[in-house]
Amino acid sequence: MTNDSELPDYAPVPSSALGPAVNEQGYFVGRVEKNLYWVTDSGYQAAFMTTRDGVVLFDAPPTIGHNLKRAIDEIASANGVSNKVTHIVYSHHHADHIGASSLFGRDVVRVGHAETKRLLQRANDPARPVPDVTFEQNHTLDIGGERVNLAWHGTNHTPDNIYIHLPDHDTLMLIDVVVPGWGSFAAFNVNADVPGSIAAPAEALSYDWKHFIGGHLGRLGTRDDVVLHQEYIADIAESARKTLATVDPMPFYAKYGNNIWAAVKAYLDTAAEHAAAPVVKKYTGVLAAADVFIVSTAFVILESLRLDQGVELPMHP
Ligand SMILES: [Zn+2]
């Protein structure tokens, strides 16, 4: 049993980080722009577009699960259009974003990156059927007269994470890179490629759009949210760089002797805390949960500075 009084307290969540309330069934569905809609359960986000030829679904998080169908039915019946899902676009292979894909059966065209197909073949998960249509760099969907531009600009959160741009709806969907209004999830969103993930928001901003679908938590994003995320990550990297130059590892080695891992752990734990501290101070009240996962994110960014960029790696004389 965990006693409530033993659990840590955190800074309050700014109301600007919160999205709309969910209904009795646990979802909210709303219009992004024209015939493009988004669905959330306050933890995950998916989107769909109604067209004259059926519905295009973008991701299928299992936490939203059967509520995806309820949300589509609700909008389709209100607008007198077809509720039949004809296409599912996969943002990336992760089960938490597409694990409800199988609910839509076999009679759906699934579209994703070629690497998504390879990773899903490896996973062999019946909940995530492999894409029928794949691409390597760019792919344009023209469904029911609606345009969707898919692009791969290198590895970021995963090797297969794509940019989904709807130019006629002023919308960009890029999952698991920016969480509008919030600090990053643990270990910098458990990103596979740290430099690629740090670079991705600039790529996102190079597109024309007004509405950002980030895949997590309760609200959509704006260009300002993406810029704020860039500043927050740049501040963590800058603080980590300063930490590597100033926190002396020698006392940790002196204390732990031949237990090298104990010395390395104590040094890295101290360094991550040290790197995180000024950023927590600066972003508390600005980004929700700026004080929750940041030490693990600072650790990942600090290690990437060392390993990917060679910052402060000592050379034996
Ligand atoms: Zn993911």
Whether the pTM exceeds 0.75: the reply is yes
Assigned domain for 225 exists: no
**Banded model confidence at residue 43, pLDDT cuts 50, 70, 90:** very high
133-135: strand order across its sheet? 28-33, 36-40, 45-51, 54-58, 85-89, 109-113, 133-135
Assigned domain for 249 exists: no
pLDDT of residue 178: 98
Of 189, 162, 195, which is closest to residue 92 (Cα–Cα)?
A: 162
Task: Answer with the residue of higher pLDDT: 3 or 53.
Answer: 53
Instruction: Check residue 145 and give left, alpha or beta (phi > 0: left; psi -120 to 50: alpha).
Output: left
What average pLDDT score do residues 42-47 get? 98
pLDDT of residue 5: 78
Residue 130 has pLDDT above 70, yes or no: yes
**Banded model confidence at residue 276, pLDDT cuts 50, 70, 90:** very high
Q: Quick: pLDDT tens for 166-212.
A: 999 999 999 999 999 999 999 999 999 999 999 999 999 999 999 99
Measured in Å, residue 71 CA sits from the centre of ligand 1 at: 23
Element at 104 (helix H, strand E): none
Measured in Å, residue 258 CA sits from the centre of ligand 1 at: 39
Q: Quick: pLDDT tens for 208-248.
A: 999 999 999 999 999 999 999 999 999 999 999 999 999 99
User: Which parts of 119-204 are beta strand (E)?
Assistant: 133-135, 138-143, 146-151, 163-166, 171-173
Assigned domain for 233 exists: no
Assigned domain for 265 exists: no
Assigned domain for 273 exists: no
Measured in Å, residue 306 CA sits from the centre of ligand 1 at: 24
CATH of the domain at 129: 3.60.15.10
Measured in Å, residue 125 CA sits from the centre of ligand 1 at: 16
Measured in Å, residue 56 CA sits from the centre of ligand 1 at: 20
Beta bridge partners of 166: 171
Measured in Å, residue 262 CA sits from the centre of ligand 1 at: 31
**Banded model confidence at residue 1, pLDDT cuts 50, 70, 90:** low
Residue 13 per-residue DSSP state: P
Measured in Å, residue 214 CA sits from the centre of ligand 1 at: 11
Buried b (16+ CB within 10 A) or exposed e, 272-282: bbbbbbebbee
Tally of domains within the chain: 1
CA dist 107 and 150 (Å) reads 22
**Residue span of the structural domain in which 101 resides:** 15-179+207-218
Measured in Å, residue 61 CA sits from the centre of ligand 1 at: 11
Assigned domain for 104 exists: yes
